[in-house]
Amino acid sequence: MNNGNSATPTTPWEASVAQYLKKHGFEAFQPKAVLFDMDGVIYDSMPNHATSWQKAMDSFGLHMTAADAYRYEGMRGVETIKLLAAQQWQRQLSDEEAQRMYSVKTRYFGQCPPAQKMEGVEALMKLISSMGLTIGVVTGSGQHTLLDKLENDFKGLISQRYMVSSFDVTHGKPAPDPYLKGLHKCGELKPWQAIVVENAPLGVRAAQAAKIFTIAVNTGPLPNQLLADEGADMVFGCMEEVRQSLLAQKSSSASSSSSDASALVSETLP
């Protein structure tokens, strides 16, 4: 993107960044890291989660649909259960009781087929890494079976030192805490020094609360407008669309920039 005194955005990225800067009152957008959600972004794991949630909650007499699983995606599991109990049982669960119920959901999830990588996400990560940007993971999951897979499945791209899970925060998404923790783990970054890649409404809300530029990739059944209404700065239909958009922006800006990262996304107000 343009560095300095460009007055008129000429690409979708430039227009979105200009709006982002104006919205938050920031003077510059100079990303050093990209923070990925995990379920439904890195792994195509949401169908397994939806099935596991339905079975587990039904065993306790709580009603949870597949659509609910996508709607509450990103929230810490114990918080989801406490919310459902408050709505349907009109009582507040303790953390211990909610955790016991969540362990049943975890057991069902462990019986599901292994989640596959989301189509196109590895190619997107390789492009991001080639531009010198750190890749972080910020998830509301506490599923060890998935967390342990990340480093092995994405060798050279993902490191545990840049991961944030439900174990790292007290307040999960849609609170900003997970993404603020991600900024901290990736080098004490400021909000304008990162990009978030999300697929869930509550995840987008969390990223926006942290004031981070947010790309929503709609990998589930919810309408694009729902993600836009939560404040996503850009909305795409799949990972390959994001990669192609990044390549187009990089090509557009390459002649006026000295590095891949700045050519792609650096922007300052006039």
Backbone angles phi, psi at 186, to 5 degrees: -90, 10
Residue 182 CA to residue 61 CA, distance in Å, equals 36
The predicted-structure confidence for 34-87, as pLDDT tens digits, reads as follows 999 999 999 998 999 999 999 999 999 999 998 888 888 878 889 999 999 999
Largest CA distance in the chain: 61
- Which tens digits make up the pLDDT trace of 132-165? 999 999 998 766 666 778 989 999 999 989 999 8
pLDDT range class, residue 1, cuts 50, 70, 90: very low
CA gap 263, 258 in Å, rounded: 7
The domains of the chain, with CATH numbers, are: 12-43+117-268 (3.40.50.1000), 46-110 (1.10.150.240)
**Cα distances (Å, whole numbers) of residue 115 to 49, 217, 269:** 10, 18, 42
Average pLDDT of the residues of the chain: 89
Structure confidence at residue 134 (pLDDT)? 98
Digit-coded pLDDT (tens) for 169-189: 888 899 999 999 999 999 999
Q: What is the mean pLDDT of residues 96-110?
A: 94
